[in-house]
Amino acid sequence: MDERRREFLDDLLATANPSGYETAGQRVWIDYVSEYADDVRTDDYGNAVAVLNGDGDSEVAFAGHGDEIGFIVRDVTDDGFVRIARIGGSDKTVSRGQHVTVHTDDGPVSGVIGQTAIHLRDRDDDSVPEISEQHVDVGATDSDEAEALLDRGDPITLDQSVTELANGRLAARGMDNRIGTWAAAEGLRRASERGTDATVYAVSTVQEEVGVQGAKMVGFDLDPDAAVAVDVTHATDTPDSPGKHSSGVELGGGPVVARGSANHPVLVEGFREAADGDDIDVQLQATGSRTGTDADAFYTSRGGIPSLNLGLPNRYMHTPVEVIDPDDLDAVADLLAGFAVRAEEFAPFSVSI
């Protein structure tokens, strides 16, 4: 990954983008993709669509979701502590003892999610309190001080910088799913460099973490011939991965092409052929019921949009230390571009019966 692409990824990861509060992150994405697109537009909820016009008949959309999990200010106690609720699937087992930022209309407010010291806890009780029972300490001494700093409904995100590990691997909060929006923008840029007859849409959706809501809006409004949802998927190559969830997906093994449920067989074939043609290693993943991504919304939009979930191996999903291999991410962008330049060969995207 060259310096400019890494800078774009770092900017996305540094910008808090909790579901329902995605404006800042969407601006970062639009600023980048606007350099390479023929047009960029947004809808009333902030879904962003960049267009690369082609001369052919096919229209393909590459979409990542721009939002991330987090918390929200639910209440303030008389003593000035902040009670919180979840935004999306935040994990109660990793939240305590973390630095956080409360994003207010007047600017960021620093805080910490309290954790009772080990000396004061019952050593025989390993239970973890629910998010609703946890609290943020912003340093206030009473409710008046706290309420002067923040409002109920302000979003909260964990503070975590990007850390480079051995072999160039990266750890950060929010890889889910900054990598998808990064890849969508890069797929469009690389498709432009290679030349494509198909029209390519790069999309950054909102509110995926609270029910793939943005994809429902985009799928209906855009109505492309094919939609590819780029998202993280579980790398089950760590010592603590439960065997019953083993998928064979490994970090560094390349992009993951999902099969089953929402994943249209013509798109599966097209991406596997594009990978072979461009000498890109891919992994396969079984999704017999649902993908858990924006693909689940795209494929049932309107009369049905042929869709695919293209995954990036990710360790420790929905924690502040998600780990990816940037070589996998570069390969995802290359694979998207490789499919774009071949899209006309596979159109129309329909099964033969």
Residue with tokens 């630095």: 99
The whole-angstrom separation of Cα 66 and Cα 230 is: 11
Question: Does the annotation list 325 as a binding residue?
Answer: no
Question: Does the annotation list 176 as a binding residue?
Answer: yes
- Which is nearest to 72 in space by CA: 161, 160, 132? 132
Question: Does the annotation list 145 as a binding residue?
Answer: no
39 Cβ contact list (under 8 Å, min separation 6): 50, 51, 53
- 18 and 159 Cβ atoms separated by less than 8 Å: no
Q: 10: which strand partners? A: none
Handedness of CA 210, 299, 250, 280 (dihedral sign): negative
Question: Does the annotation list 209 as a binding residue?
Answer: yes
Q: Name the catalytic one among 22, 186, 208, 322.
A: 208
The whole-angstrom separation of Cα 224 and Cα 298 is: 10
- Which is nearest to 266 in space by CA: 187, 184, 345, 180? 345
Long-range contacts for 132-136 (Cβ within 8 Å, ≥24 apart)?
Answer: 132/74, 132/83, 132/84, 132/85, 134/84, 134/92, 134/95, 134/96, 135/77, 135/81, 135/82, 135/83, 135/84, 136/71, 136/73, 136/81, 136/82, 136/84, 136/100, 136/102, 136/111, 136/112
- Catalytic residue list contains 130: no
Sheet of 322-324, strand order: 163-164, 170-172, 322-324
List active site positions. 208
Report the binding-site residues.
65, 176, 209, 231, 318
Report the binding-site residues for Zn(2+).
65, 176, 209, 231, 318
